[in-house]
Amino acid sequence: MASPALAALIISAWILSLWYAFFRMRTGIFPDSPAALALMLWIQFLFCGLFIVTHDACHGTAYPGNPRGNRWLGRIAAALYAAFDFDRLVPKHQAHHIHVATSHDPDFHEDTENGANFFLWGWKFFREYLQLRQIVLMMAVAQIFFHGLKVPERNVIQFWVLPALLSGLQLFFFGTWLPHRRARLQPFADHHHARDSQFPWLISLISCWHFGYHHTHHLLPGIPWHQLPANRRKS
């Protein structure tokens, strides 16, 4: 399946799943059934997918050969994910590739080579990308859900707020921390300061939409996420 069709499928699945979670799923203060927990995890997975569409759009691979379509797919996915400004994200992500593992890399932590602390690195990472404007917009959207659409608060928290927050941690852990941290038994292969995860195809997909094949991505930034596994075997 082509990249734009996959991007549209991820976005559509996220919208439909959220609609079902808001208006059809009954849940307690905590997810009180296997179905509710499974739906929450499924939406978290799709939140990660929205980020991957955004990320591919930063490289022009969400809609190859159509810059305008690519840009709009990126804007839509970024806005749905966490009210990100796609046009601001593009130069920041390009800086990560151009200045990888330097002080000009927004994803880099100065203690990476000496075993950077996960929490300090995560705090720096989220401060780098999150803006007050996003938080205000997300709070305003929550009020629309609560008061305009009459969605129960517990549904909004369990199926929108928590999956969004957990997906951020998931993406940081599998897509930044594991690939870019120093590991004595697995040194970096080159100046990209990145490594590929050793997960099999299915686990790689579930964990991070193959974003864990990160060295391959740095070597071949012009290929979309779904082509990383095949190219990893060649790199």
Using the predicted structure, report yes or no on whether residue 104 has a pLDDT greater than 90. no
How far is 220 from 235, CA to CA, in rounded Å?
A: 9
More confident residue, 20 or 2: 20
More confident residue, 143 or 109: 143
- Mean pLDDT score of the chain, rounded to an integer? 91
* pTM of the complete model: 0.93
Nearest to 161, CA basis, from 33, 7, 43: 43
Per-residue tokens: 215: 């060295």
- Amino acid code (one letter) for 7: A
Per-residue tokens: 180: 């870019």
Task: Flag the least confident range among 64-73, 113-122, 224-233.
Answer: 113-122
Q: Which tens digits make up the pLDDT trace of 50-96?
A: 999 999 999 999 999 999 999 999 999 999 999 999 999 999 999 99
How far is 226 from 142, CA to CA, in rounded Å?
A: 32
Domain layout of the chain by residue ranges: 3-187
Burial class (CB in 10 A: 0-12, 13-18, 19+), 28: exposed
Tally of CB atoms within 10 A around 35 = 12
Percent pLDDT > 70 in the chain is: 94
- Those residues with Cβ within 8 angstroms of residue 88's Cβ, 6 or more apart along the chain or in another chain: none
Q: Which tens digits make up the pLDDT trace of 199-210?
A: 999 999 999 999
pLDDT at 234: 54
Helices marked H in 114-200: 118-129, 132-143, 153-156, 162-172, 178-180
Task: Flag the least confident range among 3-12, 107-116, 226-235.
Answer: 107-116
Q: Which tens digits make up the pLDDT trace of 165-204?
A: 999 999 999 999 999 887 766 778 888 889 999 999 999 9
pLDDT category of residue 235 using cuts at 50, 70 and 90: very low
Task: Flag the least confident range among 44-48, 106-110, 210-214.
Answer: 106-110
